[in-house]
Structure formats: C-alpha cells, structure tokens
Amino acid sequence: MTRAARRHAALGAALVPFALVVNMPSASAKDYGQQGAVFRISEPDLLRTIEQKLRTLEASGGIDRMNAELTRRTEAGVRRPRPVAGIALAVRERSWIFDPTMQVDKDILDNKGNVIARAGQRVNPLDFVTIRQKLVFIDGDDRDQVNWALRRFDDRGAKLIMVKGAPLDAMTAHQRRFYFDQGGFLVGRFGIRAVPAVVEPNGKTMRVSEIPLGVGRK
C-alpha cells in the first residue's frame, strides 16, 4: 500500500460486513435411471482455460501492466476522490436546524449488553454523545473557500471536509488535516446544497448554515 493510500485509510474509511445465509430443505435421493442418450462433454475445463490465459498474460507481462494500472487508478482516486454531485457555490445565506432524532428498528445495546433503546423507540444520538467540533464543508479547488476555512477555524474547533478537491495535497500544503465527504453522505444527510457550509452543535440539534463569501464571485 502506498503512503497516500495509508494516509487516506487513516482518515477513517469504514466497511460494513454482511452475510448471506441460504437454508436448503433436506430431501431423499432417488435413482431415476438413464432417461436418454448420454453425450460426452467435449468443452475444455473452465479452470484449466483460465489458468492457461493467466500464464499467457504473465509470460507477456500483461499481469504486471494490469497491476500497475490498478495501482495508478487507486492512487488517483485516493489523491482526488470523485467530486460530490449537485453541490453549488453558496450565493445566498441559508440556515436551518437539523434534528438527528431517528426511530430505531432493533434494540440498541451498549458495550456491556445493556439495552439503551428498544426497537421502535425514537432516539436522539446527541443524548448519548457530545459533539464539540464544527463541520466545515468546502470546495477544495476553490482557493477562496480553502483560505476562508483556514483563517476562520482551527484544528481543535472544526473538521474541514471537502466535497471536491485533493485532500492529501491540501494537507501537505497547509499542514492541516482535511477530510472528504465520500459519496456525499454527510451533505445529503444534512441537506446541504451549496458550499461553504457549516454544521455546528445547537443543544440537542445541529444548526446548518450555507455561507456566501461575498459578491463579485462567479
């Protein structure tokens, strides 16, 4: 794994495991005998064919080229993730309250196995956790937005989250930690449609603000 990939992983990527279980009923076997002519299978074994193709690729250097291309694409995706679609430049101020309360579909347990919320109960996560940092969403390719965020917020008071741009390059250039909203999960959750935007604690809710930086910008 390259240094860039390790740094990207350190910013916090999550995998959600899942399992598929297939239950098959038991049945008794019965010999029905031969019902027609039997033909010999003449097609080559599939695994043997795949193995031969892989050996041919390896001998010609094709596998090495494929691995190099995969590494290049992975590195490019880490350094500059796909921009979040549908996010515009903030041209007017917009502010609202976000209530994180949700209805749980199954019992929630703490690390000791105690039930802290029953299935069907409405729960506000802010009853259990305290959020002290602001979330600042910016276009990392917009120098004005980046400079504004760096001047206004320090590392302890806010997380700087890009919806477009190269977070690793920005970290190197500014010696600050930058995050990226992969897939637009956070902006979608908060209802953000334009940046820069700030999400800040507001008691048991969160205040969301889209903030235009000034006139004279396209």
CA dihedral 130, 134, 138, 140 (to 10 degrees): -80
Q: What is the pLDDT along the chain (218 residues), one digit of tens a residue?
A: 555 555 554 444 332 222 222 233 333 333 434 445 555 555 557 777 777 877 887 787 766 676 766 666 666 556 889 999 999 999 999 999 999 999 989 988 888 999 888 999 998 989 888 889 999 999 999 999 999 999 999 999 999 999 999 999 999 999 999 999 999 999 999 999 999 999 999 999 999 999 999 754 54
197: enclosing H helix or E strand: strand 197-202
pLDDT reported for residue 61? 76
Q: Where are the domains of the chain?
A: 48-79, 88-100+126-210
pLDDT reported for residue 53? 78
**DSSP summary character for residue 200:** E
DSSP state string for 117-160: E-TT-EE-GGGT----SEEEEEETT-HHHHHHHHHH--TTTEEE
pLDDT reported for residue 58? 76
Which pair of tokens denotes residue 77? 């995706």
